[in-house]
Structure 1
Amino acid sequence: MSDDPRRPEPIPLTVLTGFLGAGKTTLLNRLLRDPALADTVVIVNEFGEIGLDHLLIESVEEDMILLGAGCLCCTVRGDLVAALEDLLRKRDNGRVTPFRRVVIETTGLADPAPILHALIAHPYLSLRYRLQGVVTVVDAVNGAASLDAHPEAVRQAAVADRIILTKTDLAGGDAADLRARLAQLNPAAPIDPPDVPAETLLGGWFGLDGKIAQVRDWLGAEAVATSGQRDDQGQDPGAVDRHDAAIRSFALTSDTPIRRAAFEMFLELLRSGHGGAILRMKGLVAFADAPERPAVVHGVGHAVHAPVSLPGWPDADHSSRLVLIVRDLDPGFVGKLWDAFLGRPRIDSPDAAALSDNPLAPPGF
């Protein structure tokens, strides 16, 4: 309860995080169908210049999305603090319907420490929002590899108040080793299946009790990074790009429908030759045999799921958009491969010659 009767009650806020491809959007879609999440704002914090996650939730109106359960969603690819402040201004000025809860779905590459520090220590946000908890989604198939290779995945698991373990049916067992590792990283967090009720998932409040000591250290480091201090080169540590320079996001697009066979061959060549470099792949594709029903494409590493057709386009843009987040893979190389399979080959680099002998490469490439 607020000590000042004139001050609005803090709005509960939940951070939904998890590494690329873990299943955050799938979980969020299920939660938003629950009446317990009516009058909720969802903030989708995406990595890259072209956003898709919000389109896979529902329909868009400028930077705000009206969801089916009376929820709003805004997409953010910039300053999350500014977005949260702007959301409060809109609510206070009556420009959006008053909401009862906020859920932030972070990009899979997010280090959660800066987000948590902002919510806890920001002089204004800490008065208007109350951090209800961190829910981290972990993929039973790729979770161990993500923890091995990416510090962000480790931090996401360690700061969680509750962990959701997905894809256990695809892991070929009960993922006992991964469960044990997660319990060591975060002894206090329950590990639940994806069908946990929304009220259970979003209950409680964020706290440090039971979490490993490093969590407090990470939040303390954020306090230093945002204090205005400068490093030896005179830079603000809080302004430094936190992502590995080898990780890049780019989009492949097509204004004309794509032949299904050509697209499948493109995916097979990319998956078989460079699957280890693909951290995440997600897109909407217009196939030539059904351009009015876009197909949703998902992939992580060497695993590419069968496209699933939607009943219609989620926005006015009916072009194919495939967003990839990769590590140590040249976007220019992938772009040339894409152009070739779409029938617009460009033989202007050594990459083309290297692919010309591949039996899956299209004629003339």
Structure 2
Amino acid sequence: MTDSRLPVTLLTGFLGAGKSTLLNKILSQTGKEKIAVIVNEFGEVGLDHDLIEATDEEVVLLSSGCLCCSMRDDLSKTLADLIERRTRGTLEFDRVVIETTGLADPAPIRQTLLRDYYLARATRMDGVVTMVDASNGKATLDAQFEAVSQAATADLLLISKTDIATPKATSALRRRLEKLNPTAEILNVAEAVEDPKRLWGLSALRRNADATQALNWLTRAPSEAAPSDPLVNLSGFAPTKLVRKFSPHDARIESASITLETPLEDSVFDHWLDTLVALKGPDLLRVKGIVFLKGLKTPFVFHGVQHIFDRPEPLNNWPDGDTTSRIVVIARDMTNPELQRSLDMLRATAAPKQKEVFPGWKDLEARSQS
């Protein structure tokens, strides 16, 4: 089954991290996908005037075929208008990038795409890309907890300005980011500019995702420099004692994970998720996983931010013989032992039926067979 929903990428990052510079370089490349960029104001993007082909009141058309749209109203209306103009054939683009300002929290934008009925059916979150300034990133992380949250919720972390930062400072920043976000890939900006496709397809919540993509979405993919089993860190990573050496802000972020080799009872999974959301909903930065439930032929991927969850998607091409559920939780102001105790609830053999807080999983088998 193909996924016709429009992929949306959220580009966020610290003040001065270089988001506009990255966008200019990506948008200037011809022969690539056509991208629609949504920003608060055109002036904040600093578009290269050599790229501009034509403008109207709300949209700047670029010579590469991409376009830039100023968010004159709220995000829902701006995005819906772009999609409607695309449907009518007056605008042509393949994906959307939303550039946030400064230290914006990605969670409200994700929730907008899920809560709006029209957007929830027409779009899907393709990934969150967070840029980090190698020169000033340490100071920003020390001073701004919002910046720490941005890094912890990313699917991809891009380190910029490595040309003006010392190799020692860049390496220290990379190690810090690895502790804050054990699941995100970390690249230098130059790598993304050279191959823009590395910015896309970051989420496994799409109908054509394969097993490798789903596993890499849960854990940092092994590299040539550090080859390893991609599941090796699924055992309660990012312990507090390692994080605290960086900053008190970092210590507010905790990560934990669990693997379960046999399929779960649906009541156990519902009870665990219901309890976690009820007790710690506002502090849940990411909850994601690959889950096998008894009675379903295929696993599914799920993802939530705070108390809002994406529609789960079945992994129809999962290899035979592997029935291991893998779940990752990244939270703020929640201790690692608390997270581990929460995940240990999944080891129970039975749980009382709860109000369904994870709508959509019951129709997974029907969709997996369609």
TM-score, scaled to structure 1: 0.53
Q: Partner residue of 1:200?
A: 198
- In 2, are the aligned partners of 1:42 and 1:73 still within 8 Å (CA)? yes
Q: Partner residue of 2:117?
A: 123
Paired with 2:78 and 2:128, the residues of 1 have a C-alpha distance of 19
Aligned partner of 1:215: which letter? Answer: L
Residue 221 (structure 1) shift: 5.1
Q: Partner residue of 2:131?
A: 137
- In 1, are the aligned partners of 2:134 and 2:162 still within 8 Å (CA)? yes
The question of 1:82 aligning with 2:77 is answered yes
Q: Partner residue of 1:209?
A: 218
The question of 1:180 aligning with 2:180 is answered no
Structure 1 residues 66 and 202, CA gap change in structure 2 (3 angstroms): same
Paired residues, number:
214
Aligned partner of 1:163: which letter? Answer: L
- In 2, are the aligned partners of 1:134 and 1:206 still within 8 Å (CA)? no
The question of 1:190 aligning with 2:210 is answered no
Structure 1 residues 143 and 78, CA gap change in structure 2 (3 angstroms): farther
Q: Which has the larger radius of gyration?
A: 1
| 1:95-114 correspondence runs (5 A) | 95-96=90-91, 98-114=92-108
Paired with 1:62 and 1:170, the residues of 2 have a C-alpha distance of 38
- In 2, are the aligned partners of 1:36 and 1:199 still within 8 Å (CA)? no
- In 1, are the aligned partners of 2:15 and 2:103 still within 8 Å (CA)? yes
Aligned partner of 2:44: which letter? Answer: L
- In 1, are the aligned partners of 2:20 and 2:47 still within 8 Å (CA)? no
- In 1, are the aligned partners of 2:10 and 2:128 still within 8 Å (CA)? yes
Unpaired runs of 5+ in structure 1?
Answer: 4-8, 224-365
Choose the corresponding residue for 2:44, options 24, 47, 52. Answer: 52
Aligned partner of 1:53: which letter? Answer: V
Paired with 1:35 and 1:87, the residues of 2 have a C-alpha distance of 21
Larger mean CA deviation between 175-184 and 56-65 belongs to 56-65
The question of 1:13 aligning with 2:8 is answered yes
Structure 1 residues 133 and 53, CA gap change in structure 2 (3 angstroms): same
Structure 1 residues 169 and 39, CA gap change in structure 2 (3 angstroms): closer
Choose the corresponding residue for 1:161, options 149, 155, 161. Answer: 155
| SS of equivalent residue, structure 1 residue 52 | helix
| SS of equivalent residue, structure 2 residue 201 | coil
How well do the aligned residues superpose, as a CA RMSD in angstroms? 2.6
Paired with 1:33 and 1:141, the residues of 2 have a C-alpha distance of 26
Structure 1 residues 36 and 134, CA gap change in structure 2 (3 angstroms): farther
Paired with 1:17 and 1:206, the residues of 2 have a C-alpha distance of 20
Residue 117 (structure 1) shift: 1.8
Q: Percent identity?
A: 46
- In 2, are the aligned partners of 1:41 and 1:71 still within 8 Å (CA)? yes
TM-score, scaled to structure 2: 0.52
Choose the corresponding residue for 2:63, options 57, 64, 68. Answer: 68
| SS of equivalent residue, structure 2 residue 93 | coil
Q: Partner residue of 1:43?
A: 38
| SS of equivalent residue, structure 1 residue 13 | strand
Q: Partner residue of 1:232?
A: none
Aligned partner of 2:26: which letter? Answer: L
Paired with 2:69 and 2:46, the residues of 1 have a C-alpha distance of 8
| 1:298-313 correspondence runs (5 A) | none
